[in-house]
Structure 1
Amino acid sequence: MPDDKEFAFLLKNTWRDLQSPDVLWQLAALAVCLGLAWLLERYMLSRVDGRGEPLSATQRFGRSWLRRMLFPLSGLVLVAAARPILATFQNVTILNLAVPLLTSLAVIRFVVFSLREAVGRTSWIAGFERVFALLAWSVVALHILGWLPEVLASLEAVSFTVGKQRLSILTLLQGIAVALLTLLVALWVAGLFERRLMATAGLDANVRLVMLRVVKTALIVVAVLVALPAVGIDLTTLSVFGGALGVGLGFGLQKIAANYVSGFIILLDRSLRIGNMISVGAERGIVTQINTRYTVIRAGSGVESLVPNETLVGSIVQNETYTDTHVSASLNFQVSYDSDVERAMEILVDVAREHPRVLKVPEPKAFLVAFGESGIDLRVGVWLQDPENGTLGVTSDVNLEVWRRFRAADIEIPFPQREVRLLPPLPRVALEPGPNGAAGAPEGGNKVERPAAVLRDDSEGSFF
């Protein structure tokens, strides 16, 4: 690649070559190189798409890489190979100009590709791509015009001191660039690791999630430690920050740290999985997310509860789908004493067996629970395999069908009744006063009458 002095005269040489008929050879060589690069890209993509099978995560990654990177890289290689061959016959100013342009295009595409693979297709990626492309092309333009050394010198001249460290704008820009590059590489490697984990068969989803988060965190920490010296920050100063962080964890951040540790415990011991139906405290719902600080539980009403992981580790959690998704449900009924109880129990079993959500094995069973005040209490027990759908629908369907069949079979569902009997007045007995007004007689020795017995409520069987 030509040095900076050659780039200073590149535009003048380019204009001179454009006025010469020999420039056609350079343009033809450049067109052939770019055409071969484009044909190579089309051929490789057709080989990937022509299999007619769904692409795996690794294959999708490879196809995306080919679509973004193969053309500029192959074009750069071909132009770099054609340049010394053509240089033996004539000037190659056009090819010299094409090399930095293709290089910058490859760098821009690589950065954007890596960022998309690391963070996904978010809305801000397009804006970042435009800004980064503008910066990259600006640097290339300054380099071609020969102005880049003067710009870098001007940025280096503007400096300031932070403590004992002297920093300039150029140093800060270099540090930011190195930090972004290291973070980008860390996220890109984490994305590759994630795809490899997802393609691993037989590995639990929680273990995958824990490994992915640990690796991503470790890579980001390494990237930051690599980038900080480039900015001019001494890593020994982090010891003070580490001590302050330890004090903060011991006091203000204790709960947060406990939630994060509990989150890793939940993910590692696999006590909870996404899709489990659980109940903790007053919350009951399906686990939709397991994060390092909290777990999301979606109730049947659609309300999502964010439960701290410390609560899930330190309290009793009822997991209805931990090892088996089968759960039992009971439906209570009451029939009058005049009804055919055995026929009523048969109807309950038949109705429960016909419901599509009720399991055939174990089969539904009916029970005589108790002899109530108003009727005979019956219960039918059923088993369901989809507790996440709730039991209200099953209860409503079974109750409605039982009501219909009870009416057809002349089986009465009683309602509470109470019998009130009016008793005749009880006779009164006169009491003789004792000496000196004893036996509770008032002064003067008058006779006092009191009821012969206490009034009884036969309906309740108690006295008052």
Structure 2
Amino acid sequence: MSGEWDSLATGLWRDLERPDVWWQVGMLAFCLLLAALLDRTLRARPAAGMHHSVGKGGVRRLIFPMTALVLVLIGRALLRGHFPVTLLSVAVPLLLSLAAIRIVFYVLRISFSAARWLGAFERMFAFCAWSLVALHVLGLLPQLVGLLEEISFPVGRQQLNLWLVAQGVVTVVVALLAALWLGSLVEGRLGRVEGLDRNLREVLSRLARALLLLLAVLISLPLVGIDLTTLSVFGGALGVGLGFGLQKIAASYVSGFIILLDRSIRIGNVISVGSDRGQVTRITTRYTVLKGLGGVEAIVPNELLVSSVVGNESYTDRQVRVGLPVQVSYGTNLEQALAILEGIARAQPRVLADPAPQAVVLAFADSGISLELGFWIRDPEAGTGGLRSAINLSIWRAFKEVGIAFPFPQREVRLLQG
């Protein structure tokens, strides 16, 4: 096989010195242009009889390279016997590699539909793969490999070189992609399990992905001859970094797994931590998102949720009691005022009938008698501002109709003689 590539590279250099090489260049340009036009035409039309989007997308990505490959093979057969065809022979493995790259990354795009890094990674991978194929065709790859093997450096007790590191990087990348693909399969399978809690599903999928990534690194590095014990130096440095600079971040990640496992905070809970209060809309391994009534989202580190007191208004029961203070003058009929307060609360649709609203006398204050109207609601995520305003407005109207006065601060001034 090596001799075949060497003869192909030698023949290419020899053909480039001949004037009739333009027949090959013209034929190659014609094949590529015709394949591009056919690809553009078929992409603009819906694929007849192809109802499955996965198969349709895979065929469309292969239209250009496979059409160009067929046309180049036909052109090479037509020119053979009349002109040299080495340039067309070189184009065949390049087009095959392009088809392989497109189909591989199409499978990756299906597996990681939300990943934004695949576009840039595909271009970089295509450039590297084409470069390797071109170097292999031209017979320069062995020289490049020998040059990389000469550049060596010690890591611990092992002597590494650039070629070994490059092989390790490629192997690790392939293993990581395979691990991510398996992780997405596990996540999809967990998503179809009925009766499994959402938080538990999230933590299981993340643990499975983390374990698969760890196994990918542990398996791929020894395959290329890199001893894992040489990474102990980097592991020690990473441990020191986690102990000092990344302490808060590591604590947040550990706290995130604790929250996801014990399910003390769930999606949809209304919680308050410090000065932040809102509904939990997202829980990750590093932070939790609280959306307040004003639309402002607070990103709270998970470490804070584990190490401090968290008020959860919907942990075991979504019923929440709301207390509304009211003050009346000392000349008020208290039984009548209490009955009016309870009737106003019962008239509100958000107020629960069981437990029933209850108005009580709290204290005899300086300017009046302090009352409190207590009632229960089942939807704390909707807030209590609008409900308080509606009840206060109804109290003001009802008290005004029966003549109950609201007290205000009063001062008595006496003038002493002599």
Shorter-chain TM-score range: 0.7 to 0.9
- Shift of residue 17, structure 1, vs aligned partner: 9.0
Counterpart residue type for residue 298 of structure 2:
E
Q: 1:304 matched to which residue of 2?
A: 298
Q: 1:228 aligns with which of 191, 203, 221?
A: 221
Give the letter aligned to residue 181 of structure 1. V
CA separation of 1:136 and 1:388: change in aligned 2, threshold 3 A: same
Query: CA 1:74–1:345 in 2, change beyond 3 Å: closer, same or farther?
Result: farther
In 2, distance between residues paired with 1:189 and 1:65?
22
Alpha-carbon distance, 1:294 to partner: 4.6
Distance in structure 1 (CA, Å) of the matches to 2:143 and 2:236: 44
**Within the alignment, does 1:385 sit opposite 2:385 as a pair?**
no
Deviation at 1:98, TM superposition (A): 4.9
Return 5+ residue gaps in structure 2 as ranges: none
**33, 38, 43: which one aligns with 2:47:** 43
Counterpart residue number, 1:197: 190
2:183–2:208: 8 Å Cα contact kept in structure 1? yes
* Structure 2 match to 1:326: 319
1:369 alignment partner in structure 2: 361
Structure 2 contact 358–375 (Cα < 8 Å) conserved:
no
Find the aligned partners of 2:301 and 2:153 in 1 and give their Cα distance: 48
Give the aligned partner of residue 459 of structure 1: none
> Of the candidates 142, 161, 165, which is equivalent to residue 168 of structure 1?
161
- For 1:68 and 1:278, how far apart are their aligned partners in 2? 50
Q: Does 1:215 align with 2:208?
A: yes
Name the SS for the 2:47 alignment partner: helix
Q: What secondary structure sits across from 2:389 in the alignment?
A: helix
1:5 corresponds to which letter in structure 2?
D
Q: Aligned equivalents of 2:42 and 2:319: distance in 1?
A: 58
User: Structure 1: any 5+ residue segments left out of the alignment?
Assistant: 50-61, 426-464
Do the aligned residues in 2 keep the contact of 1:45 with 1:66 (CA within 8 Å)?
no
In the aligned structure 2, how far is the partner of 1:154 from the partner of 1:241?
Answer: 27
- AA aligned to 1:397 is A
| 243-252 vs 410-419, greater mean Cα deviation | 243-252
Contact kept? 1:160, 1:167, Cα under 8 Å: yes
CA distance in 2, matches of 1:412, 1:43: 79
Letter in 1 for 2:99: A
Q: Distance in 1 between matches of 2:48 and 2:218?
A: 39
Task: Give the partner amino acid of 2:280.
Answer: V
Per-residue displacement from partner, 1:12-60 (whole Å, max 9, x unpaired)? 679979849xx79xx88x979x9699969963895036xxxxxxxxxxx
2:345 to 342, 345, 352: 352
Give RMSD over aligned pairs.
Answer: 4.9
* Cα distance, 1:424–1:31 mapped onto 2, change above 3 Å: closer
SS at match of 2:318: coil
- Which residue matches 1:272? 265
Distance change (3 Å), C-alpha of 1:396 and 1:195: same
In 2: Cα distance, 1:205 partner to 1:419 partner: 64
Corresponding residue of 1:149: 142
Alpha-carbon distance, 1:329 to partner: 0.7
Q: Does 1:120 align with 2:121?
A: no
Aligned 8 A contact 1:297 1:307 in 2: no
* Local SS of the residue matching 1:43: coil
Query: What is the CA-CA distance between 1:315 and the residue it aligns to?
Result: 5.6
Secondary structure at the residue paired with 1:379?
Answer: strand
Residues 348-394 of structure 1, C-alpha deviation per residue, up to 9 Å, x if partnerless?
A: 344434445x2354375242325624444433222223212332332
- Structure 2 partner of 1:450: none
Query: Residue 277 of structure 1: CA displacement?
Result: 1.4
| Residues 370 and 224 (structure 1), Cα distance of their counterparts in 2 relative to 1, 3 Å cut | closer
Contact 1:353 1:363 in 2 (8 A): no
In the alignment, residue 172 of structure 1 is paired with which amino acid? V
Q: Does 1:4 align with 2:5?
A: yes
The CA deviation at 1:268 is 1.8
Aligned partner letter, 2:143: E
Match runs of 1:24-63 below 5 Å: 43=47, 46-48=50-52, 62=54
What's 1:451 paired with?
A: none
Tell me how far apart the structure 2 counterparts of residues 351 and 366 of structure 1 sit (CA, whole Å).
11
Deviation for aligned residue 1:248: 8.8
Q: Contact 2:278/2:293 (CA < 8 Å) preserved in 1?
A: yes
Over the matched positions of the two proteins, sequence identity in percent amounts to: 46
Shift of 1:417: 4.2
Match of 1:135 among 120, 128, 131: 128
Larger Rg: 1
Correspondences of 1:235-250 after superposition (within 5 Å): 235-238=228-231
Partner AA of 1:372 in structure 2: F
Shift of the 173–274 alpha-carbon distance from structure 1 to 2, 3 Å rule, reads same
Q: Assess if the C-alpha contact under 8 Å between 1:285 and 1:300 holds in 2.
A: yes
For residue 218 of structure 2, give the secondary structure of its aligned residue in structure 1. Answer: helix
TM-score, length basis structure 2: 0.73
What is the alpha-carbon distance in structure 1 between the residues aligned to residue 41 and residue 313 of structure 2?
A: 57
Number of the residue aligned with 1:109: 102
Report how many residues are paired.
403
C-alpha spacing 1:322/1:68, structure 2 compared with 1 (3 Å):
farther
* Structure 1 residue 247: Cα displacement: 9.0
- Aligned partners of 1:393 and 1:116: how far apart in 2? 47
Residue 401 of structure 2 aligns with an amino acid whose one-letter code is A
Contact 2:271–2:312 (Cα < 8 Å) also in 1 = yes
Aligned equivalents of 1:67, 1:395: Cα separation in 2: 62
